[in-house]
């Protein structure tokens, strides 16, 4: 036991030094631990059980979840770079995909056991969520033990599903708009051992199906997609409701029933489908929809349809910000809650009418595919943070405005910061007017602007300790943030961040044992002012700046974008001709990991060919011009050679910047 007594002042001092305070002046504080990083980036909230931080301050990936085995993401990226796989790189963890399928099926199995439900669950993966061949092939393989099937929402997706699915017990749900060819292809696939269910989305499809069935002498399994009144809320709320693009309204469902009955095909109608939109954040919305759908289901049964399947569509949400709330970037329920509600609701509706319970189907895409990929990219450089330049007092003969602004700057206090802010803004506006009329020199204007930013920074430092931030000062944090330039195209790799303001967790994958003292926004490689990220996940709402580390000389800085495995890849576009990124598939083995597939990103030749340029022609053009310039003595032979070398090399390489 220690015999020395600390003075209370010393104890206080010691205590204080252990409390990590706000990174407010760009100076690293002494004690920053990986626990501080865990809390700051909320990695447990959105990343459990796959992502965490190790003692080295790197992101760790446990692709098999709780079932053991992990790897250091930073080490993996280094190893990939040694194999000449540059950044940005999309890393797919096939074990995560497998774990997601296992998890979803386990939750339904548990719910079925808990409610003694006498039916089964047969999930399907909606191909539109991620159509990449290796991923769909993995899915089918991992789904085998659970008879997990596929859902096609278009003719091309049907072609993928037909060729990839090879499990007779798995369902093939055929959604989307259909023509005769679609319908006949789906029906004929029954002869190959598939179990296609053709879901009627439009009334026009009813005669099509009747005709195809007669012609092919195949009795199909049919479903109807109901337009529910219960709606999802938020971004995809319009997927259901009276004005929804898809599905049949109640009178149309009845008309379909009559037409099928007249064609002696009512026994073919066996499935009811609904989909109220993606990323449903509130469990109450799912329950409302289920209740309505269950009633339609039992009524269809009573009308004579041989009902046996209920397809609850997609919508199972992802907790992007880890807040467990009904905020749009979160969800207030677990997969288990979801499965329990589906099973219990259907059980109750059927037993009330003494009907056998249906096989349950869900078309969860986002919930299965989001976690499996991580996009790692590097920071190319930063722009200065305004307001950090040292400020010298103005000389006695300096412009009056400059002297007054300096006085303001030296008098910022907790009591007057809002007033000081307004004064500073006014001084700056006045300075610009004076400058425009020729009464202020460029040097003087520069001094005013520097002082203005210094003032704002002082105010911001006070503000960060306040509970309440007045509206007019809310943007201060963002305007004083640095900009980090990232080797990435938002349009190619995270289109939803641009198109619909979707939030994805973004964080450094190393240096997590160091305090991130900079507050930044991100700007991408494109020449588009929308190519930026200025909204980040936060426990409450959204934050406008992300805490990152100052760059070190000669040391790359890597960021990871997580939970982007659903929808982003196919919706990504070629804005500014930035192509697909490199992709690798990582599979865990007893000895560590194995790189299963490498899919090289687009080369410039490939991207240019999408817009009809032929690289041979392009090279020939440059060669001819060089010869002319050579003849005219405007270029040396060495310069011409170097130019052509660069040109040809670029064509055969990655569209992103190379930093090594």
Question: Which residues of this chain interact with ligand PLP, rule CB under 6 A?
Answer: 126, 128-129, 153, 175, 275, 278-279, 313-316, 363-367, 566
For residue 541, what are its two tokens? Answer: 């709402």
| Of residues 45 and 232, the one with the C-beta less far from ligand PLP | 232
| Of residues 227 and 399, the one with the C-beta less far from ligand PLP | 227
| Of residues 316 and 563, the one with the C-beta less far from ligand PLP | 316
Least gap, CB of 542 to ligand PLP (angstroms):
21
| Of residues 223 and 313, the one with the C-beta less far from ligand PLP | 313
Neighbours of 478 (CB within 10 A): 13
| Of residues 274 and 417, the one with the C-beta less far from ligand PLP | 274
Q: What angle do CA 400, 406, 412 make, to 5 degrees?
A: 140
| Of residues 42 and 225, the one with the C-beta less far from ligand PLP | 225
The values of phi and psi at residue 588, to 5°, are -75, 140
For residue 242, what are its two tokens? Answer: 């009276």
Q: What angle do CA 437, 439, 444 make, to 5 degrees?
A: 120
Least gap, CB of 421 to ligand PLP (angstroms):
44
The values of phi and psi at residue 361, to 5°, are -125, 135
Calpha distance 515→30 (Å, rounded): 9
| Of residues 130 and 270, the one with the C-beta less far from ligand PLP | 130
Least gap, CB of 406 to ligand PLP (angstroms):
56
| Of residues 150 and 559, the one with the C-beta less far from ligand PLP | 150
Least gap, CB of 234 to ligand PLP (angstroms):
12
| Of residues 37 and 372, the one with the C-beta less far from ligand PLP | 372
Instruction: Please identify the residue of the shown chain whose CB is closest to the bound ligand PLP.
Output: 314
Least gap, CB of 551 to ligand PLP (angstroms):
37
Least gap, CB of 228 to ligand PLP (angstroms):
13
Beta bridge partners of 151: 126, 173
| Of residues 175 and 502, the one with the C-beta less far from ligand PLP | 175
For residue 296, what are its two tokens? Answer: 């339609």
Least gap, CB of 584 to ligand PLP (angstroms):
24
Burial 525-552 (b: 16+ CB within 10 A, else e): bbeeeebbbbbbbbeeeebbbbbbbbbe
Tell me the DSSP string of 510-541: S-TTS---EEEEEE-SSS-TT-EE--EE-SSS
Least gap, CB of 285 to ligand PLP (angstroms):
13
| Of residues 316 and 584, the one with the C-beta less far from ligand PLP | 316
Beta bridge partners of 90: 375, 583
Least gap, CB of 277 to ligand PLP (angstroms):
7
Calpha distance 244→13 (Å, rounded): 63
- Tell me if 431 sits within 8 A of 423, measured CB to CB: no
For residue 467, what are its two tokens? Answer: 């509970």
- Tell me if 85 sits within 8 A of 582, measured CB to CB: yes
| Of residues 313 and 495, the one with the C-beta less far from ligand PLP | 313
For residue 109, what are its two tokens? Answer: 């199995």
Would you give the end-to-end CA distance of the chain in angstroms?
A: 55
- Tell me if 126 sits within 8 A of 361, measured CB to CB: no
Q: Is 584 helix (H, G, I), strand (E, B) or coil?
A: strand
Least gap, CB of 188 to ligand PLP (angstroms):
23
Give every strand in the sheet of 149-152, ordered side by side: 124-126, 149-152, 171-174, 195-200, 221-225, 269-273, 309-311, 359-361
- Tell me if 532 sits within 8 A of 484, measured CB to CB: no
Calpha distance 338→359 (Å, rounded): 16
Calpha distance 8→16 (Å, rounded): 12
| Of residues 365 and 564, the one with the C-beta less far from ligand PLP | 365
- Taking CA atoms, 142 is separated from 139, 192, 326, in Å, by 5, 21, 31
Calpha distance 496→195 (Å, rounded): 34
| Of residues 23 and 314, the one with the C-beta less far from ligand PLP | 314
Least gap, CB of 137 to ligand PLP (angstroms):
19
Q: Which of 467, 462, 488 is nearest to 477 (CA)?
A: 462
- Tell me if 209 sits within 8 A of 222, measured CB to CB: yes
Least gap, CB of 93 to ligand PLP (angstroms):
19
Least gap, CB of 97 to ligand PLP (angstroms):
14
Least gap, CB of 237 to ligand PLP (angstroms):
13
Residues 6+ apart with CB under 8 A from 594: 586, 587, 588
| Of residues 271 and 566, the one with the C-beta less far from ligand PLP | 566
For residue 93, what are its two tokens? Answer: 């963890």
Least gap, CB of 289 to ligand PLP (angstroms):
13
């Amino acid at each position: 036991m220690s015999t020395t007594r600390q003075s209370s002042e010393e104890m206080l001092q010691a205590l204080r030094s252990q409390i990590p305070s706000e990174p407010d002046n760009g100076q690293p504080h002494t004690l920053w631990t990986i626990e501080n990083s865990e809390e700051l980036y909320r990695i447990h909230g959105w990343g459990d059980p796959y992502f965490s931080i190790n003692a080295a301050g790197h992101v760790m990936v446990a692709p098999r979840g709780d079932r053991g085995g992990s790897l250091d993401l930073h080490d993996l990226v280094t190893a990939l770079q040694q194999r000449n796989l540059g950044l940005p790189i999309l890393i797919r963890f096939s074990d995560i995909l497998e774990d997601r399928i296992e998890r979803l099926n386990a939750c339904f199995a548990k719910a079925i056991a808990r409610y003694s439900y006498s039916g089964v669950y047969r999930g399907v993966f909606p191909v539109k969520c991620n159509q990449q061949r290796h991923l769909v092939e993995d899915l089918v393989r991992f789904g085998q033990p659970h008879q997990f099937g596929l859902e096609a929402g278009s003719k091309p997706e049907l072609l993928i599903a037909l060729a990839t699915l090879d499990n007779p017990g798995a369902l093939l749900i055929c959604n989307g708009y259909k023509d005769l060819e679609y319908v006949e292809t789906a029906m004929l696939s029954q002869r190959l051992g598939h179990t296609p269910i053709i879901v009627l989305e439009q009334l026009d499809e009813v005669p099509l199906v009747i005709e195809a069935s007669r012609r092919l002498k195949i009795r199909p399994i049919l479903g109807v997609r109901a337009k529910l009144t219960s709606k999802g809320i938020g971004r995809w709320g319009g997927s259901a409701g009276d004005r929804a693009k898809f599905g049949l309204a109640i009178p149309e469902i009845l008309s379909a029933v009559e037409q099928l009955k007249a064609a002696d095909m009512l026994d073919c109608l066996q499935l009811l489908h609904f989909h109220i939109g993606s990323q449903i954040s509130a469990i109450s919305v799912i329950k409302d929809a289920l209740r309505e759908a269950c009633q339609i289901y039992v009524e269809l049964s009573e009308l004579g349809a041989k009902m046996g399947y209920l397809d609850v569509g997609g919508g199972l949400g992802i907790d992007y910000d880890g807040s467990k709330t009904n905020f749009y970037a979160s969800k207030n329920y677990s997969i288990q809650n979801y499965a329990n509600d589906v099973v219990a609701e259907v059980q109750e509706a059927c037993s009330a009418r003494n009907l056998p319970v249906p096989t349950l189907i869900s078309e969860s895409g986002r919930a299965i595919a989001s976690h499996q990929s991580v996009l790692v990219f590097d920071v190319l450089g930063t722009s200065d943070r305004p307001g950090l330049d040292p400020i010298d007092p103005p000389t006695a003969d300096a412009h009056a405005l400059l002297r007054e602004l300096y006085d303001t700057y030296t008098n910022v206090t907790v009591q007057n910061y809002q007033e000081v802010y307004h004064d500073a803004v006014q001084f700056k506006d006045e300075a610009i007017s004076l400058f425009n009329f020729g009464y202020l020199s460029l040097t003087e204007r520069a001094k005013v602007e520097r002082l203005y930013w210094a003032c704002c920074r002082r105010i911001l430092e006070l503000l960060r300790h306040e509970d309440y931030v007045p509206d007019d000062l809310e943007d201060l944090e963002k305007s004083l943030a640095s900009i980090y330039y990232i080797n990435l195209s938002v349009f190619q790799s995270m289109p939803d961040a641009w198109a619909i303001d979707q939030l994805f967790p973004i964080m450094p994958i190393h240096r997590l044992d160091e305090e991130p003292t900079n507050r930044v926004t991100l700007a991408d490689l494109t020449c588009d002012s929308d190519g930026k990220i200025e909204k980040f996940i936060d426990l409450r709402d959204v934050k406008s700046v992300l805490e990152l580390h100052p760059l070190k000389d000669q040391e790359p800085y890597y960021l990871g974008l997580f939970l982007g495995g659903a929808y982003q890849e196919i919706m990504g576009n070629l804005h500014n001709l930035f192509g697909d990124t490199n992709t690798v598939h990582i599979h865990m083995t007893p000895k560590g990991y194995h790189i299963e597939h490498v899919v090289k990103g687009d080369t410039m030749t490939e991207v240019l060919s999408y817009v009809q340029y032929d690289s041979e022609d392009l090279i020939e053009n440059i060669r001819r011009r060089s010869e002319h310039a050579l003849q005219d003595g405007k270029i040396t032979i060495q310069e011409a050679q170097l130019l052509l070398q660069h040109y040809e090399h670029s064509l055969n390489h990655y569209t992103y910047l190379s930093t090594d």
